[in-house]
């Protein structure tokens, strides 16, 4: 992909559906009785991997004009897959589906692409094993491919060492197939889409502080789900609108769940059910450095590559810390962002758990390697809008993981 400097950005954009919520709608719809109708589903490669896994377990999922219909078969209605489940590039699919598979009465295997085969799965194998699950890493390296022999599970109270919604969701889903109340406590609250949506489907899920609990054997019922726009996809346009001079853009229908709004901090929990959404009006602004650390990190974990680019264009120093999780995402995002921003002339240093960026240096186009990481590619596309020399992104098409229309949406706003 080649990105050229933009004079300004203007117009409005409907942000595509939320990736986390789209995955969960397919999974919970499959485990519910009756039909779940999903509108504004994200048809990115990751969510299509989730669909194909559940289809391989006998769930009828229809993709009709703009809507997905999931004909669920209830909590115990999945069939043994006749082939290995392919999760593609999707960590969410891998970790959530493992919690479900651990409680089935069949054996299954799952694997994915080269990136997924390097990502840490011990973080789910540990709690699942404590619940009595039989889950092994076939190559013995704590990564996929995984073999899971389903069992009746025991309820546990898991103290997770990481603030990870994927770990939390995995344990809660396994808890539905256990013999008591399963609890997960995390060091800092991570995104709570699983808790909200499972409750909506009829499960008895409660949350108190950073502990979520679920009662076993719920009856889940098919639901209507309107997927809000993905704030993690909106982040690139928020950044672009702020950074490119003379811009004003309207981003429509953005999900602003408080566990995801670290990038905005505009919304706080009001006890309402469902996912709050908003239209965001973004204007060019002169940005300055800041420190991003502590409890805000899980609420903007996927936006940190974009924040690193914003920091490189902002005046002064930005420090990002407590974000060691970036090292085990689709790429080592600390290393990849640092290397690529340095190629563009930025003053940035990697630290063990983040980055230190002295912003405001003039940046130039360069050849950027996305390392097949969709969030890296999109972050640098925004950087390219601000550079005199063309910026080219190797393997830029990996945006199809979470945002297939990304480049055309970006160009639709640029002059």
Regarding 191 and contact with ligand S3P (CB under 6 A), the answer is: yes
Site for ligand S3P, residues 261 to 320, rule: CB under 6 A? 301-302
Query: In terms of CB distance, is 227 or 366 closer to ligand S3P?
Result: 227
Owner of token pair 């974000």 = 323
Residue 164 near ligand S3P by CB under 6 A: yes
Q: For residue 42, what are its two tokens? A: 């994200």
Looking at residues 14 to 73 of the shown chain, list those that interact with ligand S3P (rule: CB under 6 A): 20
**Start-end of H helices in 131-267:** 165-175, 193-201, 231-243
Smallest separation, CB 1 to ligand S3P (Å): 21
Q: What share of the chain is helix, strand, coil (3-state, %, to 5)?
A: 35, 25, 40
Smallest separation (angstroms) from ligand S3P to the CB of 20: 3
Rounded CA Rg of the chain: 21
Stretch touching ligand S3P by CB under 6 A, among 70-78, 158-166, 181-189, 204-212: 158-166
- Cβ 225 to ligand S3P, closest distance in Å? 15
Among the listed ranges 159-167, 178-186, 271-279, 364-372, the one in contact with ligand S3P (CB under 6 A) is 159-167
Instruction: Name which position in 50, 92, 94, 178 contacts ligand S3P (CB under 6 A).
Output: 92
Stretch that binds ligand S3P, among 61-69, 164-172, 252-260, 344-352 (CB under 6 A): 164-172
Of 389, 388, 406, the closest CA to residue 397 belongs to: 406
Q: Is 329 helix (H, G, I), strand (E, B) or coil?
A: coil
Q: Which of these is catalytic: 46, 302, 369, 409?
A: 302
CA distance 147 to 161: 24
Residue reference for tokens 């300004």: 8
Q: How many residues bind ligand S3P (CB under 6 A)?
A: 11
**Separation in Å, CA 158 to CA 14, 193, 217, 301:** 39, 19, 19, 22
Strand partners of residue 351: 354
302 is catalytic: yes
Give the active site residues: 302
Residues found near ligand S3P in the complex (CB under 6 A): 20, 92, 164-166, 169, 190-191, 301-302, 325
């Amino acid at each position: 992909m080649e990105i050229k400097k933009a004079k300004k950005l203007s117009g409005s954009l409907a942000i595509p559906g939320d990736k986390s919520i789209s995955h969960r709608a397919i999974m919970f719809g499959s485990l519910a009785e009756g039909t779940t109708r999903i509108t504004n589903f994200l048809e990115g490669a990751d969510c299509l991997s989730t669909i194909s896994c559940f289809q391989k377990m006998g769930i009828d999922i229809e993709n009709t004009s703009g809507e997905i219909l999931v004909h669920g078969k209830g909590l115990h209605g999945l069939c043994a897959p006749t082939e290995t489940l392919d999760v593609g590039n999707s960590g969410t699919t891998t970790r959530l589906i493992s919690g479900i598979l651990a409680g089935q009465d069949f054996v299954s295997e799952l694997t994915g692409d080269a990136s997924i085969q390097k990502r840490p799965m011990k973080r789910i194998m540990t709690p699942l094993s404590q619940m009595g699950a039989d889950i092994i890493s076939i190559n013995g390296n704590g990564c996929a491919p995984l073999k899971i022999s389903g069992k009746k599970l025991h309820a546990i109270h898991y103290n997770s060492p990481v603030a990870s919604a994927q770990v939390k969701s995995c344990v809660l889903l396994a808890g539905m197939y256990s013999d008591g109340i399963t609890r997960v406590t995390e060091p800092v609250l991570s995104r709570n889409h699983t808790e909200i949506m499972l409750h909506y489907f009829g499960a008895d899920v409660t949350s108190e502080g950073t502990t979520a609990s679920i009662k076993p054997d719920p009856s889940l019922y098919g639901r209507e789900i309107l997927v809000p726009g993905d704030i993690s996809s909106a982040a690139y346009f928020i950044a672009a609108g702020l950074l490119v001079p003379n811009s004003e853009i309207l981003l429509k229908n953005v999900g602003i769940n408080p566990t995801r709004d670290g990038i905005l901090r505009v919304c706080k929990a009001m006890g309402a059910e469902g996912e709050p959404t908003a239209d965001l009006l973004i204007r060019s602004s002169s940005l300055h450095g800041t420190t991003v650390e502590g409890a805000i990190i899980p609420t903007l974990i996927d936006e940190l590559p974009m924040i690193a680019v914003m920091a490189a264009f902002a005046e002064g120093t930005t420090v990002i810390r407590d974000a060691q999780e970036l090292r085990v995402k689709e790429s080592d995002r600390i290393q990849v962002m640092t290397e690529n921003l340095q190629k563009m002339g930025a003053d940035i240093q990697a630290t063990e758990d983040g980055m230190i960026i002295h912003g405001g240096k003039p940046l130039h186009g360069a050849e950027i390697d996305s390392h097949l990481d969709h969030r890296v590619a999109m972050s640098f596309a925004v950087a390219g809008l601000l550079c005199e020399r063309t910026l080219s992104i190797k393997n830029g098409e990996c945006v199809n993981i979470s945002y297939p229309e990304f480049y055309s949406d970006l160009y639709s706003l640029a002059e």
